[in-house]
Amino acid sequence: MAPSGEPTELSASSISDDILSRMPRASGRYMAAIGFFGAVVAWALFAWGYQIQNGFGNTGLRRPVYWGFYIVNFVFWIGISHAGTLISAILRLTGAGWRKPVTRAAEAITVFCLMIGGLFPLIHIGRVWYFYWMIPYPNERLLWPNFRSPLFWDLTAILTYLTGSLIYLYLPLIPDLAEIAGRSSGKKQRIYRALSLGWTGSDRQWQALERAMKLMAMAILAIAVSVHSVVAYDFSMSIAPTWHSTIFAPYFVVGAIFSGIAALVLVMAALRKLMGLEEYLREEHFVNLGKLLMLMSLLWLYFTFSEHLTTWYGNLPYEMQVFNLREQGFFGIVFWTMVACNFAIPFVLLGVSRLRSIATISISGATVLIGMWLERFLIVVPTLSRPALPAAWGNYAPSWIELSITAGTFAAMALLYLLFVKAFPIIAIWEYDETIPAR
């Protein structure tokens, strides 16, 4: 091994051995983490069951605020899902070499966030067993779903994105699955062999895979942009104050990429620490993502300013009621916290080069995630609290059910990720053929 800090060439097989050896074993610490997050998820499932059994009256959702934490979480998780596929696809298409250790972590975020985010409309509809009514199939009552409803658009967009993201995650996993199969035996080998679909490593297969990944990257970019646009249409197709905006779709897409990068930074920092991936997830990867985060922070500020300026300048009474509510009292605190989290803190930590480090970039990622959750809350709740008729005004406070389910989704994300890194290499072995620094 070369002296510490000096680069050393690792052979292909040593990189394979090294990455595979980092996959966590079922140690006591690992099982304790699984148990803890599993317990939180179980509690959230209990809360959901309680809501189904006893009705929506047990939540904080009531007239006029019918969309509360569930829709906030829906938009938040779908937003984060843009981490992976979008970032990975952009970097793949632009040929950014530094993406290689980052892409799989990002693609896994996408799939898990979509699975979690896609649950919220189901939780929100209450009678979840009627979900299949959304699916267009010939039925005995000769009914069809309302194809003009943004709710139906959500269904098609999320299903398409989930399908595409799963395939986009799976395709580059295939050679690694074959690699694991070749290094294991018995039942484990049979499972990985089956999952690798008979991969042999022929040039014909490599060429087909590279071609498929390029085409998938192009397709997934378009789908990812459309998905968060459709989520924005859920709001902007209504004529509720401050929602009926032409820039809502790009505003949401920008916010989604912003929160996605933040989530990726946090996940990478956690993986680096917990799995000892310091040689692979290096400072340069964090700095590059930090620069992207900074760019998206400025874009987010621009869109937020444009959105608020248009409302303020128009001075329409219905809109100003919501605008003023957001600026004052409790919502005012939330608003300025959001601005601090999404702009002020990242601007200082990422803008001043002396302050830029893995720790500060991770802190920025954490504040952005908090800020973006607050942004979704500020979009959903104040508008519904102040409908056009003052007599219909109301407030919203989540009950233990919404709080439990919200906590459960964060635990579910951690749980899914822990299970994923146990079963699959989090760094694409076949893509990683660079010089890595000595330990």
Partner 1 sequence: MTRQYLHAEYRRPQDAIAAIEALTEAGFPKSALELYSRRPVETDPPVLPRRSRMSLVAVLGAITAGSVSTALVFWAQLDYPLVTGGMPITSGWATGVVTFEATMAGAVLGILFMLIWEAGLVGSPSGAPVPDLPEEGVVLQVKCEGDSAALQRPLSDTGASRIEAVKASGRPGTS
Interface positions with partner 1 (CB under 8 A): 11-13, 16, 136, 142-144, 146-149, 152-153, 156-157, 159-160, 163-164, 167, 171, 174-175, 179, 182, 197-212, 215-216, 219-220, 222-223, 226, 230, 233, 430, 433
**Tokens (6 digits) for 49:** 């069951």
State which amino acid sits at residue 438: A
Q: Write down the least CB distance from residue 390 to partner 1, Å.
A: 25
Of residues 54 and 207, the one with the C-beta less far from partner 1 = 207
Of residues 147 and 313, the one with the C-beta less far from partner 1 = 147
**Tokens (6 digits) for 58:** 């047990």
Asked if residue 280 lies in contact with residue 14, where contact means CB atoms within 8 angstroms, the answer is: no
Q: Write down the least CB distance from residue 204 to partner 1, Å.
A: 6
3-state class of 430 per DSSP? Answer: coil
Asked if residue 270 lies in contact with residue 263, where contact means CB atoms within 8 angstroms, the answer is: no
Chain-centre distance of CA 162, in angstroms?
Answer: 12
Q: Write down the least CB distance from residue 279 to partner 1, Å.
A: 18
Q: Write down the least CB distance from residue 206 to partner 1, Å.
A: 4
C-alpha distances out from residue 359 to 292, 349, 350, 351, Å: 16, 10, 11, 14
**Paired residues of 437 in beta bridges:** 7
Sign (positive or negative) of CA dihedral 17, 20, 26, 28: positive
Q: Write down the least CB distance from residue 246 to partner 1, Å.
A: 14
Q: Write down the least CB distance from residue 197 to partner 1, Å.
A: 4
Asked if residue 428 lies in contact with residue 176, where contact means CB atoms within 8 angstroms, the answer is: yes
Residue 409, sorted as left (phi over 0), alpha (psi -120 to 50) or beta, turns out to be alpha
Of residues 136 and 332, the one with the C-beta less far from partner 1 = 136
Of residues 185 and 200, the one with the C-beta less far from partner 1 = 200
Of residues 17 and 307, the one with the C-beta less far from partner 1 = 17
**Paired residues of 7 in beta bridges:** 437
Asked if residue 131 lies in contact with residue 122, where contact means CB atoms within 8 angstroms, the answer is: yes
**Tokens (6 digits) for 213:** 């990944």
Of residues 103 and 226, the one with the C-beta less far from partner 1 = 226
Of residues 131 and 144, the one with the C-beta less far from partner 1 = 144
Of residues 144 and 302, the one with the C-beta less far from partner 1 = 144
Closest residue by Cα to residue 250 from 303, 312, 311, 296? 303
Residue at token pair 């378009």: 222
Q: Write down the least CB distance from residue 94 to partner 1, Å.
A: 17
Q: Write down the least CB distance from residue 208 to partner 1, Å.
A: 4
Residue at token pair 């920025």: 364
